[in-house]
């Protein structure tokens, strides 16, 4: 159990958890009882992005000397981020009167988690927050009325789960990001 505490501290998990809760609570205060898909996905991307900052340690050489296999730890770490971020959002929504479909929260969490894994693998763990946040901003700027394939893929966070293309985009991003991060780790 001691290794788990040390691992959590080396990945800034306590401060990330506090920031995640603060972001969700702040958006809950803004949303009140009227959760919309925009606020829901903003809360989800905020939670994942804040926690994704800790996807790498301070010393890559030290990380390579661990006795336990890293792919298992990295997979558990990334999945725990997704569970905590989406769980906090679902709890906050239950405090209001109008909640967004839990499947939409889940698919948004899967997609943003995959984007965080891709960003951490490609650019380094400290940049794990960039790709989910940039994709959310791009999705926010894509008009809902545009039914082209490109708009449906780019705008998946705000269309899930109504649109099959958007749903499969979230699943594909989630799978690629989680597998890439678990197997490869962060950029050195």
pLDDT at 103: 87
Q: Which of residues 20 and 66 earns the better pLDDT score?
A: 20
Residue 66 per-residue DSSP state:
-
Task: State the helix-helix crossing angle for 70-94 and 164-184, rounded to 10 degrees.
Answer: 140
Cβ atoms < 10 Å from Cβ of 54: 24
Given this model, what pLDDT does residue 181 score? 92
Residues of the chain with pLDDT > 70, as a percent, come to 88
pLDDT tier at 45, thresholds 50, 70, 90: very high
pLDDT of residue 101: 84
Task: Give the mean pLDDT of 74-95.
Answer: 88
pLDDT at 107 over 80: yes
* Model pLDDT for residues 49-83, shown as the tens digit of each residue: 998 888 877 666 666 666 667 888 889 889 999 99
In angstroms, rounded to a whole number, what is the distance separating the alpha carbons of residues 60 and 134? 26
Task: Say if residue 1's pLDDT is above 70.
Answer: no
Residues 138, 7: Cα–Cα separation, whole Å: 34
* b/e burial code for range 157-178 (CB count within 10 A of at least 16 → b): bbbbbebebbbebbbebbeebb
**pLDDT, averaged across the chain:** 85
pLDDT in tens, 129-174: 999 999 999 999 987 776 788 888 999 998 867 788 989 999 999 9
Q: Which stretches of 102-145 are DSSP H helices?
A: 102-123, 130-141
Provide the pLDDT for residue 115: 97
H/E element holding 32?
none
- Give the up-direction half-sphere exposure of residue 88: CA atoms within 13 A in the CB hemisphere: 26
């Amino acid at each position: 159990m001691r290794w788990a505490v040390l691992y959590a501290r080396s990945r800034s998990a306590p401060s990330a958890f506090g920031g995640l809760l603060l972001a969700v609570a702040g958006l809950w205060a803004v949303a009140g009882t009227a959760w919309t898909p925009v606020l829901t996905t903003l809360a989800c991307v905020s939670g994942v992005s804040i926690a994704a900052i800790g996807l790498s340690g301070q010393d890559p050489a030290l990380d390579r000397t661990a006795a336990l296999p890293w792919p298992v730890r990295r997979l558990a770490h990334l999945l725990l981020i997704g569970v905590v971020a989406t769980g906090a959002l679902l709890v906050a929504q239950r405090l209001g009167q109008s909640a967004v479909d839990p499947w939409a929260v889940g698919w948004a969490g899967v997609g943003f988690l995959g984007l965080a894994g891709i960003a951490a693998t490609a650019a380094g763990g400290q940049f794990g927050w960039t790709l989910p946040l940039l994709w959310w901003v791009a999705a926010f700027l894509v008009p809902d009325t545009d039914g082209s394939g490109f708009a449906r893929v780019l705008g998946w966070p705000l269309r899930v789960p109504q649109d099959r293309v958007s749903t499969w985009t979230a699943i594909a991003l989630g799978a690629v990001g989680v597998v890439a991060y678990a197997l490869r780790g962060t950029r050195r």
